[in-house]
Structure 1
Amino acid sequence: MVWIVVAVLGLGATVAQVGIVFFTYRDYQVPGVAMNPTLKPGGSALVRAREGDEVHRGDVVMFDRGAFAHPDSAGLSVFRVVAVGGDVVACCTGGLLTVDGKPITENYLSQDQYAQDAAATTPYLVRLHEGQVFLLGDERGRARDSRFLGVVPVSAVTGFVVGTGRITHPAPLARTTAFTDAGLPGAPFEDTLYPALRWWLLGGAVLLFAGLIGLVVTLVRTAGRRRRAAAGPPGR
C-alpha cells in the first residue's frame, strides 16, 4: 500500500505540472525578421500567459496585432515594449532612442546591414496615455511596429516571451537592463514559474518511478513467499 500511495502521488504531481505547463505556456513560431537577433526567423519562442501581470519597458510581449492604432493585419505578433503609459518616447538623439529624455543603450538591437537603414532611424515623438504601450522590433530597419502603426492598448498584450526553443526544452530569454540602467523604473518580467515546474515535474517523476519499482519488487517477493508456502516442507 505504501508503494501504491507513492506511485499515485508521483503520478498526480507529474500530471498536475504537465497540465500547468501546457495551460500557462505556449510555443510561438517566429514568422519573420522583425525581432532578429533576439528571436530568429523560423525559430520557436516560449510564451507565458500574462494573467494580469504588469507590463514593463524591455519586455518582449505577445499581442493582438489588430490592436495597433492603425493596424495593417490581424493575428498574434511579438515585439519589445520600449515605452509605457505616461512616457514620452522619441528617436533619435545621437542615434539612440530616448524615453522621457533619457537615452537608451539598446544592446539587443540587430547590428546587420539594416541597422543603419533609413527606416531604423525614422524620427518620431510620441506621448503615451495611461494604458498604452509603444512596441518596436529589434530589427528596426525591417519592422512594421508602433513607429508606423501607432500605440497598442496594454489590454491587448496576452503574454510574455520568456524563452527560445520548444516548450519541452527552452532556453531562458535574457532580460535587458537597458531601461533601468538609464534610470527608468520597472524591470522586465522575470519568469520563475517554469524553472520551478521543471523541478516539481522531476520530483513527481522520481516518486512515480520509485513507487512503481517498489510495488513490483514487493509483488515479486510476495509471490515468491506464496510459492514456497504452497510447496510445503520438503519430503523425507
Structure 2
Amino acid sequence: MVLAGWIVVLLLGFGAAGYGLGTDFLDYRSYRVPGVAMSPTVKPGDSAVVRVRHGEVVHRGDLVVFDRGAFAHADSAGSSALRVVAVGGDVVACCTDGRLVVDGEPITETYLSQDAYAHDPHATTPYLTRLHEGTVFVLGDERGRARDSRVLGVVPLSAVTGFVVGTGSVLHPSPLARTNAFTDAGLPGTPYADETLTGVRWWVLGGAALSAAGLTGLIVAAVRSAGRRRTAAAGPPAR
C-alpha cells in the first residue's frame, strides 16, 4: 500500500507539470521586441510573453501582436506589437490639447513615453479616421518614433494573433499592468486580462516537486520492501 501511495504522488506530479508545460507550449509564445515603438512599456530587445489569441475580443488599450503585412498600407512584413486605441465603429482623431480622442472623448494616456521624442511633431500629427467593423487602429507608446496606423492604416482583427501579457519568460514573467485610460474616459471594454500566466509556473514547479517526492518515496519504499523480503527469506537465526 505504501508503494501504491507513492506511485499516486508521482503520477499527480507528472500530471501537474505536464499541464503547466502543455499550457505554456499551446497558449504562450516568446516575442523579442525589435524596435522602440512600444517604449517604455516594452523596451527594444525585451522578451515579451504573448498569450495566443483564440478568438477573444480585442479592446481599446490591449497591447497586441499582429502580422505587420496586414496594415492597409503595409511597408514591411513580420510580427509587430502595438497598442489598440480604437476598434470597429470608433472615430479616432488627434489631437485635442495634445491628447488622443476616441468617439469624442479625450484619452489621458499615462503609458506614453515622456522622453525627448514625446515632443516630436510626429507625435501629434493630425488625423481623423472612422473604423469599419472588424478592424483596429494601433499606435506605439513611443508616439514620436512609431510607424503605426497613423501612417500605415488600420489592421484587420483577423491579423491579431496574440496579446502581450508580460515580459521575461513564461516561468519567470513580469506581468504587464492593464490600462484604465479608455474606461476612465467612459468608453466600454476592459483590456484583456490573463488569469493563467502566473499560475503556469506554480503548476510546473509544484508538479516537479511532487514528482521528485513521489520518486524518492517510491525508491525508499522499494528498498525497504526488498530488505524485508531478504530478511524473511533468510529465515530465523540458527541455534
In the superposition, the TM-score normalised over structure 2's length comes to 0.95
1:121 alignment partner, one of 120, 124, 132: 124
SS at structure 2 position matched to 1:7: helix
- Aligned pairs for 1:1-236 (under 5 A) are 1-236=4-239
Distance between the aligned counterparts of 1:197 and 1:207, measured in 2?
A: 15
CA offsets per residue over residues 166-192 of structure 1, 9 Å max, x none? 222110011000000010000100000
Q: 5+ residue gaps in structure 1? A: none
Distance between the aligned counterparts of 2:19 and 2:105, measured in 1?
A: 45
Q: Is the 8 A contact 2:173 2:198 kept in 1?
A: no
CA offsets per residue over residues 41-74 of structure 1, 9 Å max, x none? 0111000001000000000000000110000000
Displaced runs of 4 or more, over 3 A: none
CA offsets per residue over residues 51-106 of structure 1, 9 Å max, x none? 00000000000000011000000011000000001111110100100101111010
Identity %, equivalent residues: 71
SS at structure 2 position matched to 1:66: helix
In the superposition, the TM-score normalised over structure 1's length comes to 0.96
Distance between the aligned counterparts of 1:140 and 1:76, measured in 2?
A: 19
CA shift for structure 1 position 127 = 0.6
Q: Is the 8 A contact 2:136 2:155 kept in 1?
A: yes
Distance between the aligned counterparts of 2:227 and 2:128, measured in 1?
A: 82
Mean Cα deviation higher: 210-219 or 178-187: 210-219
